[in-house]
Amino acid sequence: MSKHCVQCGLPDFKITYGREPLPIDDKGCCVFCNDYEANQKLYEVNFKANEEKFLALCNQIKGKQKYDAVIMYTGGKDSGYAAYYLTKKLGLKVLAVTWDNGFFSKQHEQNLRELVQNLGLDHKFISIGENNLAEFYSNRLKKLGRFCACTQPALLFCAPEIAASEAPLIIMGVSFGQQLSLFQNRLLFEFNINERQLMLPLLKERGMGIYQMQDPGFLIGALLDVACGNYSPAMEELLQNCFKHFQQMMQEERYINILSLIYNFDHKIIGEVLSQYGWKKPNNTHSAGHTSCIMEHLKGYLAYKQNMLNLDYLEIAAERRWGRISKELFEEVLPTIHYNQAEPPEMELFCKVAKMTREEVEQVLVGKPFASPNPPPINWELVKKLTVNINQEQLSKFLSLAYNRGIP
């Protein structure tokens, strides 16, 4: 029987750093809540200051290229509201880019079309092909025990289109809870308190939610997803092209922006505004949870079977910890992430897209690759073909670090 934090509700499943169970003390509080209580001032988000810095950046780049911004667009509430805000509130010229992850329902596709049309967005729908998609998912599951069809692979596979747009701003529809849980996870386990006290003022001075694409962390995160796999020549060619354009953008003045750290968006208002533009909340989703992918249940199931916390659970716990959702709302959202051992019906679709049998998936889960304290062996022959401009020794360190940071 799992213990749960009395404050944020997290269970004592394993966390990525060290793959050890989440520490919960004798008072029933987890390490994240204790850290937040002890260092709350470090984690304050100054939305007003972040907004001022983002608006200054927008004024600096506006109108200089065909597009001011590219938004990684899923049709969910977070990316949909970001598209609305950029176009209707800020008057930016926006290109919406959607990676076809193989898991869009009819309602998701309808939301994509409605918002694109009613917001007046230019839109590109990027497909990497059925076979390449299967290779990506099957390798990722077998080697890393991971499944997530969202931000990082979308950024990688859309890199050629994003590069061609010349847009200085790349907008990620990541929620406050997702970003803050990743942020706290990294600060808590990678840095001591003195280092954090030096780092955070610098981050706040730059503007939280505003990141230069030159940061190698984005590249390494994308590389981790594929670097331990074995692929066909066609998939290798695709990956070479994507990493070429990804690294090209790292040499240019581009910024990756997380609007949920720049503006204090509200779940209820997001839904109300988007409904005016034809968006409808998909069935079996919650207004305070994810609304862009039908595979949320599978994500929860795969993590549960490996006794690991995933980002969905960390996200809603962070929202509760930061006082953005109540305990009652947390209890409402929790069932939607399907954190139990009942195999979800979406398993059939995953097997079809990944071209795996249910038995193959279950065999992977028996080995619990996600729970391994060490990353799987890197396919250095593949990495060499991708011409990543970092030497192997440094790259090994970066990939090990990314393995700890990466929370599907």
CA distance 46 to 200: 12
CA distance 307 to 78: 28
Q: What is the pLDDT of residues 67-93, one digit of tens each?
A: 999 999 988 888 999 999 999 999 999
Q: CB under 8 Å to 261, separation ≥6 — which residues?
A: 45, 47, 50, 176, 179, 180, 208, 209
* Residue 1's pLDDT band (cuts 50, 70, 90): low
Q: CB under 8 Å to 202, separation ≥6 — which residues?
A: none
Residue 202 neighbours by CB distance under 10 Å: 8
Q: What is the pLDDT of residues 111-162, one digit of tens each?
A: 889 999 999 999 999 999 999 999 999 999 999 998 875 778 999 999 999 9
Q: Among 4-13, 115-124, 204-213, 384-393, name the one with the lowest average pLDDT.
A: 204-213
Q: In the predicted model, what is the mean pLDDT of the chain? A: 91
Do the beta carbons of residue 66 and residue 41 sit within 8 Å? no
Q: What is the pLDDT of residues 173-226, one digit of tens each?
A: 888 888 888 889 888 898 887 887 787 777 667 668 899 999 888 999 999 999
CA distance 189 to 247: 28
Of 47, 55, 75, 69, the C-alpha closest to 274 is 75
* Token pair belonging to 359: 């038995």
First vs last C-alpha separation in the chain: 23
Sign of CA dihedral 80, 266, 304, 397: positive
Residue 60 neighbours by CB distance under 10 Å: 10
Strand residues in 100-164 grouped as ranges (E): 122-126
Alpha helices by DSSP H, 207-354? 216-227, 233-250, 267-275, 296-305, 311-321, 327-333, 347-354
Do the beta carbons of residue 221 and residue 151 sit within 8 Å? no
Residue 277 neighbours by CB distance under 10 Å: 18
* Token pair belonging to 203: 């981050």
CA distance 162 to 246: 9
Do the beta carbons of residue 50 and residue 261 sit within 8 Å? yes
Dihedral angle over CA of 349, 350, 352, 356, nearest 10:
-150
CA distance 60 to 39: 35
DSSP 329-364: HHHHHGGGG--SSSPPTTHHHHHHHHT--HHHHHHH
Q: What is the pLDDT of residues 162-174, one digit of tens each?
A: 999 999 999 998 8
Q: What is the pLDDT of residues 228-276, one digit of tens each?
A: 999 999 999 999 999 999 999 999 999 999 999 999 988 788 989 999 9
What per-residue confidence (pLDDT) applies to 2? 81
CA distance 183 to 217: 13
Q: Is the pLDDT of residue 282 over 60?
A: yes
CA distance 280 to 292: 11
Phi, psi of 107 (to 5 degrees): -70, -40
